Structure 1
Amino acid sequence: MYTITLEVNQICNLRCDYCYLGEKTNQKMTEDIAHKSLQIAFLNVEKHKDKRLWVDFVGGEALISFVFLQKLVEYIEKEAEKRTITVFYSITTNGTIMNNNILEWLINKKVHLKLSIDGTIETHDRNRKTKFGIGSYRNIIKNINYFREYEERTKQYIQVAHVVTQNNYWEAFNSVKHLVEDLHFSVVDSSIDVTHRWTVEQLDKLGQEWENILCYYIKKKENGRAFLWAPVLDLKKYGEESEKFGFCGVGVIQIYVKTDGGIYGCAANLESSGCLGDVERGFSVRKIKEYRELAPQSPVCLKCSIHSKCQSCKCIMNNLSYSNQINVCNPDMCYFEKKKLSLWNKYDEIIK
């Protein structure tokens, strides 16, 4: 499977405090840039045995560019048919823009839906506000029937993206419980905002929240009311053979294309250090070769007792974002990696 993420716009009706795009340019991706991006993806997919392509649409708020998305999917389907490529789609949305036309399109095109919502109204509205400074939770709830209909008709679950930040980390368990118990979502992906430095005390507390969520996940599963908490998939990787840990595949199996045509490894680093090239000139083969050769070779990491199992040290884009070097890791993530591994060692027999 080859994955391309297309940043179709840098326009949004929200002003979230932790947005990875920072100050948006209000720029829209042109058809020319989109088509050139996809041609790169098609060429790479044709080298893969399974000939499967995953196209992920993001913004800004991607659904602001709904007409553009419709045209783009028509183009993708025509090109994919010529090449006998199987295409899957996903889109990330803040959940505030929805109507019957959008719903029907999402269902007909079998677009996997990722919804950004951080928990209870108090937690969510703390960071995810409109441009007028008003929380956006109620805007999402107004559209909840659309999301229910989407799941009922597609028979696929919406993936909820829940971001843990320095002003809500002590509420992580309550946030996940709210999303599952009160809003009835079945897939929750909790991620940590790594753009700011964390203290040991904060990470210790977050580690306890992670354990509380894990115990809740286990209890729900044992009671026959299972949901998927995405970090469990990361924990399960600790049970895999260490040889499987290495180069993350940026540029080889996945790329992120910004509105201006810049090609990046992934959304973890959209600064110049994460740039692999652009749609006009293509990739920097030298950079990708360097990533592949140096990713597992951090001098500090090699001395670490959990190096063979560590997932954080292999995240090249996070390393570059933090230190501007491939093999110098964010120490906050190193610390939390040990917290996660301790959870695996404690609960591995239950969650395997």
Structure 2
Amino acid sequence: MLAFIPENAHRVEVDGRAMLMHVPSTGLYEMDAVARDVFDLFARAGVADAAALRAELGGRHAPGALADCVASFVALDILRDAATPAAPIRIARVEDVPLSTIVLNVNTGCNLACTYCYKEDLTTPAKGEKMTFQTAVAAFELLLRQASARDRVNVVFFGGEPLTNIALIRQVVDHAEARVAELGKTVDFSLTTNGTLLSEPLVDWLDAHRFGLTVSMDGPKALHDVNRRNVGGRGTYDAVARNVRMLLGRYRSRPVGARVTLTRGVTDVLAIHDHLRGDLGFAEVGFGPATSGPVSVFNLEGAALGQVFEDMKTLGRRYVEAAIRGENIGFSNMHQLLTDIAQGTKKAVPCGAGLGMLAVDKAGDLHLCHRFVGSDQPTYGNVETGIDVPRLAGFIEGAQDRSGYGCRTCRIRSICAGGCYHESYARQGDPFAPVYHYCDLMRDWVDFGIAAYTRIMQANPDFFRRHLQPRRAQ
């Protein structure tokens, strides 16, 4: 007697094709007529034996075909001996932290006062507390020790506004490039900026050192200026747009993206994308709905959040239409979703925070990621004394089992893995609590992605070779 394991299989109908996502591996399969019938039988009955299979399907399919299909489903743990209990969740033990990325919070000061900012240690430029060169060097040396087996390491500069401490950034770049040259490694730099402090000489310097750049910008003037204001309360669109045009006209090393924060009243996904990509010329645009910011009036809830996802699906359909023509319209949320599906992403934890990446504050203390800097959450060592591996291991190992929250039977658990730690902490006070306000929306978003992937693969499979593999290789 075999039992159906519904939490390991999810069926999505796409233009008459029955697509099966194997949930544990995120593998995607198209089911033939035999597989459809076997799947439907077990999904309906829950359990069945050989006699039931012969009685129900023997008149339609050969015994050998049925046996092969059942064996495939058993191998995928979609069918299991009814007497066999579910295996316990496998917890990968953390004995070391092989870092690839260190995030340096170079200044708590920012020259803007965006209404939705989540940073708990944020101050004005005059009160900003800057990281010292000594701390930054110790952080980079920690990265090199923990990444001894890697050929490439990453340094991310964060703030506040990181460019308010450009003197330190320049020092760190010079030091890091000299050190990796000694070791035969490569270092990549990146930062996210509000765009107000960019100048031609600075852009040329960033270009020379191949920075990965993202600009925080919320769309056309009427939308951007709602929340992204300077400390005096004035909108910043005119200054940012002017600098962005200069940046995109001069910068050659890498594509430059825009990062949009959607808040109550700033949700016109299509208009924002059209302006940032079509009018200003960003290579890609990514959207982050604000749902757990410190000022609740700006957070998206209920119907407004649902409408944002509907608008993202509308933009996603444009992405699919363009992909079939061989074009990439630069919608990074969609691109990431399709990358996860195409590459069979399998997550035990939601991101690399605490594993491949740690963030450093001005005192040199180590945090799970940049978003936790300034919060009341524990730290995990210091750049001078090293990583507190036992404490960090306890967190990462605990994060792998969210069965008490309902994640164990969720069909997108291998893509979501419970969602952002900081989002859960900020909204619910518990970094392990799933982002419940997103759950249904995310399940629908993944189904949308499965359908999009299937349609592109049928019409223009070369799109993935041209646009996903190069991104993965960077």
Question: TM-score, length-normalised on structure 2?
Answer: 0.68
State how far apart, in whole Å, the 2-side matches of 1:210 and 1:320 are: 25
The alignment covers a number of residue pairs equal to: 346
1:132 Cα deviation after fit: 1.4
Distance 2:114 2:197 in 1: 16
Give the aligned residue type for 2:400: P
Counterparts of 1:153-172 in structure 2 under 5 Å? 153-154=252-253, 156-169=254-267, 171-172=268-269
Which stretch of structure 1 is more off in the superposition, 232-241 or 37-46?
232-241
2:115 counterpart of 1:13:
no
Distance 1:140 1:198, change over 3 A: closer
Q: What is aligned with 1:178?
A: 275
Partner of 2:433: 328
The alpha carbon displacement at 1:45 in A equals 1.4
Partner of 1:291: 395
Q: Counterpart of 1:26? A: 128
Q: Distance in 2 between matches of 1:286 and 1:351?
A: 45
What SS does the corresponding residue of 1:195 show, helix, strand or coil? coil
* Structure-2 separation of matches of 1:323 and 1:283: 27
The one-character-per-residue Cα deviations of 1:176-220 (angstroms, maximum 9, x if unpaired) are: 121111112121122222324643212221111111111222233
* TM-aligned CA distance change 1:198 to 1:310, over 3 Å: farther
SS in 1 for 2:406: helix
**Structure 1 residues 65-214: aligned runs within 5 Å:** 65-151=165-251, 153-154=252-253, 156-169=254-267, 171-196=268-293, 198-214=300-316
Query: What is aligned with 2:406?
Result: 301
Cα distance between partner residues in 2 of 1:200 and 1:262: 37
Aligned-residue offset at 1:104: 1.9
User: Quick one: percent identity of the two aligned structures?
Assistant: 22
Contact 2:180 2:186 survives alignment (8 Å): yes
Task: Provide, for residues 81-139 of structure 1, a one-character-per-residue CA deviation record: whole Å limited to 9, x for no partner.
Answer: 22222101112111111223212211111112111111111111111001111111100
Q: 1:314 to 1:119 in 2, by over 3 A?
A: closer
Tell me if structure 1 keeps the 8 A contact 2:360–2:370.
no
Residues 289 and 305 in structure 2, CA contact (< 8 A), matched pair in contact too? no
Q: Deviations over 1:4-63 (max 9, x none)?
A: 1111112221111122324425111111111111111111111x3x32111111222212
SS at match of 1:318: helix
How does the TM-score come out when normalised to structure 1?
A: 0.90
Distance 2:355 2:410 in 1: 29
- The one-character-per-residue Cα deviations of 1:202-252 (angstroms, maximum 9, x if unpaired) are 22211111111112222333445423222124322245547x211333222
- Deviation (angstroms), 1:274: 5.4
Counterpart of 1:278 (choices 365, 382, 402) is: 382
Q: Distance in 2 between matches of 1:240 and 1:107?
A: 30
- Aligned partner letter, 1:301: G
User: For the structure 1 residues 173 and 309, does the alpha-carbon distance in structure 2 shift closer, same or farther, using more than 3 Å as the test?
Assistant: farther
CA distance in 2, matches of 1:65, 1:305: 44
The alignment status of 1:252 with 2:351, answered yes or no, reads no
Q: Tell me how far 1:144 sits from its aligned partner.
A: 3.3
Counterpart Cα distance in 2 of 1:312 and 1:231: 17
- The aligned amino acid for 1:338 is R
Q: What is the alpha-carbon distance in structure 2 between the residues aligned to residue 116 and residue 307 of structure 1?
A: 29
| Structure-1 separation of matches of 2:173 and 2:343 | 37
Conserved? CA contact 1:263–1:279, under 8 Å: yes
Whether the 8 Å CA contact 1:246–1:314 is kept in 2: the answer is: no
1:61 and 2:161 matched: yes
Which moved further from structure 2: 309-318 or 335-344? 309-318
Instruction: Give me the whole-angstrom Cα distance separating, in 1, the residues matched to 2:406 and 2:456.
Output: 27
SS of the residue 2:304 aligns to: helix
- For residues 326 and 124 of structure 1, do their structure 2 counterparts lie closer, same or farther at Cα, with a shift above 3 Å needed? closer
Structure 1 CA distance, aligned partners of 2:112 and 2:422? 26
- Determine the C-alpha separation between the residues in 2 that align with 1:318 and 1:279: 26
Q: Residues 10 and 58 from structure 1, CA distance in 2 versus in 1: closer, same or farther, beyond 3 angstroms?
A: same
Unaligned runs of 5+ in 1: none
Shift in CA distance, 116/302, structure 1 to aligned 2, threshold 3 Å? closer
